[in-house]
Amino acid sequence: MNEIQSHMLLISDLYNSCDDKQKDSIIADLKAILSSQDRADSNLNPNRIDTLTGLLNRDSLIRDISLLQDEAMLVILHINQIEAIKQLYGFSMVEEIILNKAQSLKELVKDSDVFLYSINFQKFALLVKNRKLFDKYISILKFSIFNNIDSFTYSSSTGTEIMSDFTAGISCGTEHLHHEANVALQEAMLSKLSHKIYDRNPEYIRLKKSTLDKYQVYKDALHNGYIVPYFQPIIDTRDGSVMKYEALARLQLPDGRVIAPNDFLDTAKEDKTFEFFTRQMMQKVFNIYDKTYVEISINLTYENIKSQSMQEYIKNRLQKYGGDRITFEIVETEEIEDYEVVERFISMIKEHGCKISIDDFGSGYSNFTNLIKLNIDFIKIDGMLITKLLCDEKVRLMVKGLVEFAKNIKIKTVAEFVCSQEISECVKELGVDYFQGYYHGEPKDAKFYGLV
Per-residue pLDDT of the chain (452 residues; tens, 9 = 90+): 444 445 444 555 555 666 666 656 655 555 454 444 444 444 446 678 888 888 999 989 999 998 898 899 999 999 888 877 777 778 888 888 889 889 889 988 888 899 999 998 889 999 999 988 988 898 888 888 777 655 566 666 677 777 778 899 999 988 889 989 998 998 888 888 888 988 776 666 666 667 667 778 888 888 899 999 999 999 999 999 999 999 999 999 888 888 887 777 776 776 678 889 999 999 999 999 999 999 999 999 998 999 999 999 999 999 999 999 999 999 877 778 888 999 999 999 999 999 999 998 866 544 566 777 789 999 999 888 999 999 999 999 989 999 998 999 999 999 999 999 999 999 999 999 999 999 999 999 999 999 98
Residue 399's pLDDT is what? 92
b/e map of 142-170 (b: 16 or more CB within 10 Å)? eeebbeeeebeebeeeeeeebebbbbbbb
Find all residues with CB under 8 Å of 254, minimum gap 6, and list them.
226
Whether the full predicted model's pTM is greater than 0.85, yes or no, is: no
Residue 46's pLDDT is what? 61
Residue 39's pLDDT is what? 47
Residue 51's pLDDT is what? 86
Residue 194's pLDDT is what? 87
